[in-house]
A and B are shown apart, each in its own frame.
Chain A
């Protein structure tokens, strides 16, 4: 699929850990159709997995009656992924993960999700709206 046209795909995923893989596989399939390289698809899979896990665990507190909405927009030369939860969004004071601090026990060993998303994607934005919940917006460009 050459992305001459803007295509939008939406998935609604119940907030249950493990089901984020549905979003990961769908995103990877679309990226492959768009012509992304295997390396970039791997980056995308990790970023989408982490954003969905954050939405399920921290946004929706694993409440299975809530949903994670995944919007995939294939546009000319880029893929945008928006992941919405129904929770309170990303707190502003998240500690930047530091491997030395973690190994020394000064930080919890977990907490790499946002770091990985920001490291692997070309554009990332976190937002929260009290009425609609949190959203992670990320863009990956076909040609860097």
Chain B
């Protein structure tokens, strides 16, 4: 689909049109403004721990080096993220390691120099004496009796534990005809935005106020958090998220590096910059996904899942991330585990386990790529156990009545699980594939098909976060919408897009509501001085929540424009139509430009006799309960049994994200998510050796997918409007990443079925596939 011009015929809406993005002209011209583009007087390089566990002894700086250590940061607090439930043990992270080091890459000191190269040279000459201790890298090893304890506050290395068991679970379990068990393992991944992290802090010597420009997804909360840790007034800190080169969750957590930048800028009354290099990003930014998931499904004799038992062990790394805490992965796994399946008997234990590895933080999909992978593997295994088709077992188990309340109490507003499954089955032409699969098998080629059906909870409001007991409970968004006296429109938003195209989609929503063209609307974001407090952009929330707040503000502006027009045109409010840049009396040719109404709102207020407040500035705030998108993904793969290489040949998606505001942007989000999901399924893995050193510290070793590994993606949409979203849009930023690992792993297993080999671990690398075949003696 190609983007269209910013013109439309009268009578149609802007919403629903694939218009080109307003973000793009600057970005394709090299005029984007990213953090690392800013010059600074001073540059920082962090000295990081080379060992996974130990006690810091002496830190010796070379002559002439300006070195900052924990000892310098007097009065600076530790980062202590907090949950009030689930037996959470708060553990603190010093901004710079002061006594113990707990993972390779943990910042211990910072070197200041006039250039980043000079700082790097100097940092390499800093001499660290660390008394090494035995690290623990794997979550199950960390749970073992006698394992080294990472934090004194967390005995047994368990930082939190969620438990749930529905009443009558045991009775239901006993009634099963078959129990199917699955041990799934997701290895560790890194979100890998192409722009690594970075910050630039500048102190105004006259006022002492600091402006921190950094690659963040949540500027307002960064401001709150940094001010807290440094004990400074928030008013003295301005945080700007400029153009941000992707985030995918990695840029929403508080980075201790930014705290050091602000502290130092204040101390030096000058500007200080830090640009993370790729090695630092891979070893010491934030990781994700490292989990063991054990599922047991109790099925009745018709292959209906009647009870589900889950055990989730999430390796959360060395510290808890702020603001979500490390509860985000295990607790979301527990809350959303039954996914799209109608099962009312559910038991789950979900633990977060500390290890001597890089801290875990949210990454696109959060837990759902792993639980979907596990659930969908379980369904395929159960289908095999009952000798029925994988599609058939899904037909028998998917939720089909809405609203639906899950065993744990989540309310699914609407969905189209069965419809998207059938749509995908039809698009892929399953019978034709099965015939071709048979033919190719006889020639020694191993094709497989894999299905993944899933729900994607999006647009979480504050009640959803509060259910987790989060000390910081995000959820709502505010938008301030101004029509200025020149007739131009400005929407200042608390969300902080970094590639999602909100400057365009929010303009489409406003344009329809107040009757102007999107090109007179400017969406302003990412600056705590110029935007209302808000939570930023993450968790597939912005279009739902910030879009909802935008619509509320736009409705208020619309009401006021109609009032002004009614006064000026001397017509009833009900007869005024706002469209194509004018207010018009219905059924007549009497019009007045909207720009003129705006001018009057400021400059002719005496005409409104006190009945209309001066100006044209309205605020909207929205805090929805949350809504569920859903999709069915289908992958066709070929597995080379001799080399273990997997090629994804075809990829079909049938998805339902409610009303699509801009289908071009929506499809782009799905494409990108699927590519990351395929990367997670086949290629990407952060590998630690037994000492806790990372073996995958560059992109050639970590291997995000290239254009060669991603097949053409065929998308089909159903638009079931959500009752829990006033724009009727549901979020869809994460769905691609959630569905792809499951679809690809199921396809690989389908291809390997004749060998009897199974892969329940991702990424399914050639080594793992070969090992599975070798274990069966089916491959040399």
Judge: A and B partners, yes or no.
no
Chain A contact residues, CB within 8 Å of chain B: none
Chain B contact residues, CB within 8 Å of chain A: none
